Structure 1
């Protein structure tokens, strides 16, 4: 569990530096240069992600049950995850109404994904992983929305074409991940018994 927690601190912590210590960050960029800073940022984030995956795998070998959710919640989690994939796609597809309305669809996608997984997974390691990502994404989304509001930043107006692309890309990515990649990468088939 320690490796998972260290990974979460590294990954989430490096992403919070801009919000929690903006002046310190600016001094580091001025001192080391923007490219080395971005390189260090990417290295710490990648190391955190590797520790999260490794630590989660280790923690799954010693499960500790916190609660026993009903099996039917897996269907709801699948729906939450579909919405999350569409939100993440909307963050990168230009000129869609989702991004125009929400401002931070990628972070809100993480919130939806983590919430869905907390509903259907009752182990301690699940609560640590998904609870940490839920807390981090909520904090980031709220802080960035406030920052954008104060700076007068607005997303480009949405178009039906942008909405359609975000919906199709998100849905296809979700289907590939849910039906094939999740079982291969995570070792759990989320659609077992549903197809």
Structure 2
């Protein structure tokens, strides 16, 4: 569990600098340059991510049960991850109406993903992992929306084809991940088998 917690601190800590230490970030960009800061940020984030993966896998070997979710929550989680995938794709397709409406589709995707997994999993490691990501995503959405409002940033919508593309790519990615990748990568097959 220690490695999971350390990984969460490193990964989410780096991703929280803009939330609670914008001045520190600006000072580091001035000190190292934007590319230098991004390199430091990426290395620490990657180390945190590796520790999260390893620590979560290790924690699952000695599970601490907090609650036993009913089976239907797995089905609800599977359904909720569909919009999570679509929102994630919409974050990277320029000019979607989705981004125009929600502002921060990637972070909202993380919220939906984390919430879905909290519903369907009742181990202590799950609560730490998904609860931490959910709390971070809520704080980051608030912070990013404030920054956008202060800077007068708005997101323009392009043609509807961009949204259709984001939805289709998100659906295909969800199917591929749910049916073929989640089991080998995570160790749990959402649809049995």
Q: TM-score, normalised by structure 2?
A: 0.97
- How far apart are residue 158 of structure 1 and its match? 4.3
* 2:192 aligned partner: 192
Residue 23 of structure 1 is matched in structure 2 by: 23
Q: Match of 2:5?
A: 5
Whole-angstrom distance in 2 between the partners of 1:114 and 1:68: 17
What aligned pairs does 1:66-85 form with structure 2 within 5 A after superposition?
A: 66-85=66-85
Q: Which residue of 2 aligns with 1:179?
A: 179
Task: Give the 3-state SS of the residue equivalent to 2:153 in structure 1.
Answer: coil
Structure 1 residue 149 displacement after superposition: 1.2
* DSSP 3-state at the match of 1:155: coil
Matches within 5 A, 1:27-176: 27-176=27-176
User: What is the CA deviation profile of residues 50-73 of structure 1, one whole-angstrom value per residue up to 9, with x for unaligned ones?
Assistant: 000000000000001101111111
* 1:64/1:124 contact within 8 Å kept: yes
TM-fit CA distance, 1:39: 0.6
Is the 2:19–2:139 contact (alpha carbons within 8 Å) kept by the matching residues of 1?
Answer: no
1:30 aligned counterpart, secondary structure:
helix
Number of residues of Structure 1 aligned to a counterpart in Structure 2:
193
**4+ long deviations beyond 6 Å:** none
Q: Deviations over 1:136-186 (max 9, x none)?
A: 011101110111012110011243211100100100011110001100101
Aligned residue for 2:122, secondary structure, equals coil
User: Structure 1 stretch 59-68 or stretch 29-38: which is displaced more?
Assistant: 29-38
Judge which range, 40-49 or 93-102, deviates more: 93-102
1:91-145 CA deviation, whole Å, 9 max, x = no partner? Answer: 0112211110000000000000000000010010000000000000111011101
Which secondary structure state, in structure 2, belongs to the residue aligned with residue 74 of structure 1? helix
Which runs of no fewer than 5 residues in structure 2 stay unpaired?
none
Contact 1:98–1:158 under 8 Å retained in 2: no
RMSD: 1.0
